[in-house]
Amino acid sequence: MLLLQHSIALQTDGKIVVAGNFIKIINGNRNSQFAVVRYNTNGSLDNTFGTNGFVNTDFVYESDASSIALQADGKIVVAGYYTNYYSGIAVVRYNTNGGLDSSFDTDGIVVTSIRSFSQANSLSIQTDGKIVVAGIYSNDLNNINTGFTVVRYNIDGSLDNTFDNYGINTIDIADYSVAKSVSIQTDGKILVSGYRCILNDCSNIEFVVVRYNTNGTLDSSFGNTGIVTISVGGNSMSTSMSIQTDGKILVAGYIWDNIAVLRYKKNGYIDSTFDNDGKVNTTFGNNIYSGANCIAIQTDGKILVAGIYITQINDSIKRNFAIVRYNNTISGIENVNNINLENSVYPNPFSEQTTIQSNCFLDNASLIVNNTLGEQVKQVNNLYGQRITFNRDNLPSGIYFIKVSQENKQMITKKIILKD
């Protein structure tokens, strides 16, 4: 058996949740299943999760988990694909102990088939709990002509019929186009990044970023049509995306076997203030390939990119883990008097009012409060500064989860307890 890990998420208590696929060979037949593993903060397996830290979900046919995200109530959402004769998008929700969540489509599993072939490559959860999945679809079983697809689900797992065509949006951007990453802006608009090329002529691959309105239609204020393409050349790919607190968009991947990072303005146009032309290429010296698989932004604005580089000495090929950090200045992030303040809530528990302390300066941030069912019960917008006064108002006593977000970056997540 073999465990392949593809995506990672960090819980508010510091535990680490990883999703991928679990491969078994039985009587010479290959069976691939969704796999989720949880680690304690010290790196040991968390035996309170599933069986000794492991959870496998068998779709009977081949399946693979590609992306993971955590709800405000701690439940775990994983997306990928399953396949028998046709291939479809698969979304699974787990309770915090690793069991399947029966409140999600009655059995914890939702499958969505789009045309002859479809799969999820990335997922993100909106502040209202709705789940957005991005990936590809195709009209043919051979997966030759592909397009972007975005699917939005309600919190119970049903398709959201307020999103474009009964919850599903498909776009043919070129003969071959692939959506690789999805992020939600603080205003609810949806960003999807990927790449495209013309079949039989992928010598000119283009990075693609698409922005959708909250109802699933293309946002024409982004670029000219809602779709922005940048020619980067052959042997290239866009793999991951992150949004800065000032709304600028970072996309990572590779260009001509080098790690590449591109930055876009909020309106979709390339940001020439980023390394003069909006693009940064990084090579690891004498290597035959290097590329980025994931990008993240630190609270101080610096950019972290993780991926791989491959070297060859004589006939020996060696795969290496690569991580690069770039300097970056983001407007709106500052630390008052350079004091190293931790994100905190005090007092907690509380009965009427508490203070939320941020370690970064908040600029037009939003605060969302969810109950233990994941339902949004309160929202406060237009937050500025490093201290937020939170009033209980009419919320009943109990446990709640707060999330403070700014330009699609999660700044603070905390559990709060209200008492009478």
Q: Where are the beta strands (DSSP E) in 199-245?
A: 201-212, 227-231, 236-243
Q: Which residues pair with 295 in a beta bridge?
A: 305
In the DSSP assignment, the letter for residue 43 is S
Residue keyed to tokens 């992306």? 67
What pLDDT was estimated at residue 286?
A: 67
Decide: residue 23, CB within 10 A, 0-12 exposed, 13-18 middle, 19+ buried. middle
Using CA atoms, how far residue 199 sits from 138, 147, 192, in Å, is 14, 12, 22
pLDDT in tens, 384-404: 777 788 889 889 999 999 988
DSSP H stretches of helix in 63-111 = none
C-alpha Rg value of the chain to the nearest Å: 22
Mean pLDDT of 376-387: 84
What pLDDT was estimated at residue 95?
A: 97
pLDDT in tens, 256-268: 778 999 999 999 9
Using CA atoms, how far residue 99 sits from 71, 276, 415, in Å, is 15, 50, 22
Residue 336 has pLDDT above 70, yes or no: no
- Per-residue pLDDT band at 335 (split at 50, 70, 90): very low
DSSP H stretches of helix in 57-112 = none
Mean pLDDT of 227-251: 88
Q: Tell me, rounded to whole angstroms, the distance of Cα 161 from its chain centroid.
A: 22
Neighbours of 302 (CB within 10 A): 14
> What's the number of CA atoms in the CB half-sphere (13 Å) around residue 353?
4
Residue 242 has pLDDT above 50, yes or no: yes
Q: Is the dihedral of CA 244, 176, 278, 223 positive or negative?
A: negative
Q: Where are the beta strands (DSSP E) in 256-315?
A: 258-264, 279-282, 289-297, 303-313
Residue 243 has pLDDT above 90, yes or no: yes
